[in-house]
Amino acid sequence: MKKNCMHNLAYTSFALALSLASAGAMAQTYRVNVQPLIKAQCADCHGALAPTLAEFKLAEEKYKKEKLGPRTDTYENLLQIVVYPDSGAFMRRMDDGSNTGDKKPGNMYKYLGDTDSERQANLTMLKAWVGEGGWNLNRWGARGDVAGITKEQMDKVKVKY
Ligand code: HEC
């Protein structure tokens, strides 16, 4: 009886380890993982009523006062602040401080969740979506001490739909 129990326990842990491993290895997609998060946490200020990135850039101060940021309601709109033209803006604002020059979190990191563990879990998911080595904070062009984004860095960006 006892031996049997131990066997079952060992089997259960093994099955659990397997399912965790496959969940971790599974590729994140915009449709399944990213869109629901953006909709729940960001849409109040970046939703369909917010200006497009191009409109936002024409009157940044006006939109900031209205608490509106660039529209990220679709995959296409979101990619504009991940890859081009506002390369790395998403990473600069969402980073928890591990990759920023001043070690401070980006100013949108706080919207990733109510608790630190929630924010960290969502950040981990977003980083996996962007891709291993793709989480770079560089802009399209160099600014100050920070070099512009390179082709090698861009090649690592996955952002699967
Ligand atoms: C309460 C309103 C509000 C919420 C919620 C919010 N944002 Fe923002 N966001 C803004 C405003 C206003 C700006 C423009 C001012 C600034 O640059 O800080 C902005 C700017 C940004 C920028 C910089 C865009 C650029 O091209 O310069 C990014 C990236 C961003 N937000 C991402 C997010 C993400 C992702 C979420 C959800 C996890 C989020 N924001 C939630 C209001 C918000």
> How many Å apart are CA 161 and CA 157, to the nearest integer?
12
What is the number of domains present in the chain?
A: 1
**Can you give the pTM of this predicted structure?**
0.88
Could you tell me if residue 115 is inside a domain? yes
Statement: residue 26 has pLDDT above 80: no
In short, whether 157's Cβ falls inside 6 Å of ligand 1 is no
* 146 three-class SS: strand
The arithmetic mean of pLDDT across residues 11-31, rounded, is 64
Statement: residue 13 has pLDDT above 80: no
pLDDT digits (tens, 9 = 90+) for 66-110: 999 999 999 999 999 999 999 999 999 999 999 998 999 999 999
Could you tell me if residue 121 is inside a domain? yes
**Separation of CA 44 and ligand 1 centre (Å):** 10
Could you tell me if residue 86 is inside a domain? yes
Which domain, by its residues, includes 89? 27-41+74-155
Could you tell me if residue 134 is inside a domain? yes
Take atom 5 of ligand 1 and give the residue whose Cα is closest. 42
Could you tell me if residue 116 is inside a domain? yes
Could you tell me if residue 22 is inside a domain? no
Could you tell me if residue 68 is inside a domain? no
